[in-house]
Structure 1
Amino acid sequence: MEESTRRPTKKKVVAVVGGGLVGALNACFFAKRGFNVEVYEIREDIRQAKVVKGRSINLALSHRGRQALKHVGMEEKIVSQGIPMHARMIHSLKGKQSPIPYGKKDQYILSVDRANLNKELLTAVEAFPNTKLNFDHKLQGWSAETGLMTFVRSDGSKEQINADLIVGCDGAFSALRKQFLRRSRFNYSQTYIPHGYMELTIPPLNGEFAMKPNYLHIWPRNTFMMIALPNMDKTFTCTLFMPFEDFEKITTGDEVITFFQKYFPDAIPLIGADTLKRDYFRLPAQAMVSVKCSSYHIGDKCVLMGDAAHAVVPFYGQGMNAGFEDCIVFDEIMELFNEDFSAVLPEYTRVRVPDDHAIADLAMYNYVEMRAHVNSKWFLFRKHVDNILHFLLPQTIIPLYTMVTFTRTRYHEAVERWHWQNKVINRGLFFCAAGAFFGSSYLLIKNPPDIDKLVVPAEKMWNRLVALRTS
Structure 2
Amino acid sequence: MDSASMDTSAKQKKTSNKKKVAIVGGGLVGALNTSFFAKRGFDVYLFESREDIRSAKVVKGRSINLALSHRGRQALKHIGIEEKIVSMGIPMNARMIHSLSGARSPIPYGKKGQYILSVGRTNLNKELLTAAEAFPNTKLNFDHKLLDWSPETGVMTFSGPDGAEREFQADLIVGCDGAFSTTRKQFLRRSRFDYSQTYIPHGYLELTMPPRNGDFAMEPNFLHIWPRNTFMMIALPNLDKTFTCTLFMPFEDFEKIRTGDEVINFFQRNFPDSIPLFGMDALKRDFFQLPAQAMVWVKCSPYHLLDRCVLMGDAAHAMVPFYGQGMNAGFEDCLVFSEIMDLYNEDFAAVLPEYTRVRVPDDQAMAELAMYNYIEMRAHVNTRYFLFRKYLDNTLHFFMPRTIVPLYTMITFTRTRYHEAVIQWQWQNKVITRGLWIFGTISILGVSYYYLQFCPKKPHLTALQQLWKQVIALKWLTK
TM-score range, shorter chain: over 0.9
- Distance, in Å, in 1 between the alignment partners of 2:453 and 2:225 is 51
- Distance, in Å, in 1 between the alignment partners of 2:449 and 2:262 is 60
Check if 1:374 corresponds to 2:381: yes
Q: 1:314 aligns with which of 311, 321, 324?
A: 321
- Distance, in Å, in 2 between the alignment partners of 1:272 and 1:181 is 48
Read off the aligned partner of 2:24 and give its amino acid letter: V
Within a 5 Å distance, the mapping from 1:341-356 to structure 2 comes to 341-356=348-363
Partner in structure 1 of residue 447 of structure 2: 440
Q: Deviations over 1:150-206 (max 9, x none)?
A: 100242112111100000000000000011001000000000000000000110011
Higher mean C-alpha deviation, range 427-436 or range 8-17: 8-17
- Distance, in Å, in 1 between the alignment partners of 2:140 and 2:15 is 21
How far has the Cα of 1:400 moved from its partner?
Answer: 0.4
Partner in structure 2 of residue 12 of structure 1: 19
- Distance, in Å, in 1 between the alignment partners of 2:58 and 2:67 is 23
Check if 1:83 corresponds to 2:90: yes
Partner in structure 1 of residue 109 of structure 2: 102
Partner in structure 1 of residue 70 of structure 2: 63
Read off the aligned partner of 1:283 and give its amino acid letter: L
Alpha carbons 1:8, 1:35 under 8 Å: kept: no
Q: Secondary structure at the match of 2:372?
A: helix
Q: Secondary structure at the match of 2:106?
A: strand
Partner in structure 2 of residue 459 of structure 1: none
Within a 5 Å distance, the mapping from 1:36-55 to structure 2 comes to 36-55=43-62
How far has the Cα of 1:332 moved from its partner?
Answer: 0.2
Partner in structure 1 of residue 239 of structure 2: 232
- Distance, in Å, in 2 between the alignment partners of 1:150 and 1:9 is 23
How far has the Cα of 1:444 moved from its partner?
Answer: 2.6
Check if 1:339 corresponds to 2:343: no
Check if 1:140 corresponds to 2:147: yes
Within a 5 Å distance, the mapping from 1:148-227 to structure 2 comes to 148-227=155-234
Check if 1:361 corresponds to 2:399: no
Q: Secondary structure at the match of 2:391?
A: helix
Partner in structure 1 of residue 467 of structure 2: none
Partner in structure 2 of residue 460 of structure 1: none
Partner in structure 2 of residue 258 of structure 1: 265
Q: Secondary structure at the match of 2:364?
A: helix
Compared CA separation, residues 154 and 10, structure 1 to 2 (3 A): closer
Q: In percent, how many aligned pairs have the same letter?
A: 76
Partner in structure 1 of residue 6 of structure 2: none
- Distance, in Å, in 2 between the alignment partners of 1:442 and 1:388 is 30
- Distance, in Å, in 2 between the alignment partners of 1:150 and 1:186 is 23
Partner in structure 1 of residue 417 of structure 2: 410
How far has the Cα of 1:447 moved from its partner?
Answer: 2.1
Partner in structure 2 of residue 456 of structure 1: none
TM-score with structure 1 setting the length: 0.93
Read off the aligned partner of 2:175 and give its amino acid letter: G
- Distance, in Å, in 1 between the alignment partners of 2:123 and 2:377 is 27
Q: Deviations over 1:114-160 (max 9, x none)?
A: 00000000000011000000000000110000000010024211211
Read off the aligned partner of 1:294 and give its amino acid letter: S
Read off the aligned partner of 1:205 and give its amino acid letter: R
Alpha carbons 1:44, 1:135 under 8 Å: kept: yes
- Distance, in Å, in 2 between the alignment partners of 1:126 and 1:224 is 42
Read off the aligned partner of 1:411 and give its amino acid letter: Y
When Rg is computed on C-alpha atoms for both structures, the one with the higher figure is 1
Unaligned runs of 5+ in 2: 1-13, 459-479
- Distance, in Å, in 2 between the alignment partners of 1:156 and 1:60 is 37
Read off the aligned partner of 1:163 and give its amino acid letter: A
Instruction: Give the total of aligned pairs.
Output: 445
Partner in structure 2 of residue 454 of structure 1: none
Unaligned runs of 5+ in 1: 1-6, 452-471
Q: Deviations over 1:390-415 (max 9, x none)?
A: 11111000000000000000000001
- Distance, in Å, in 2 between the alignment partners of 1:406 and 1:138 is 37
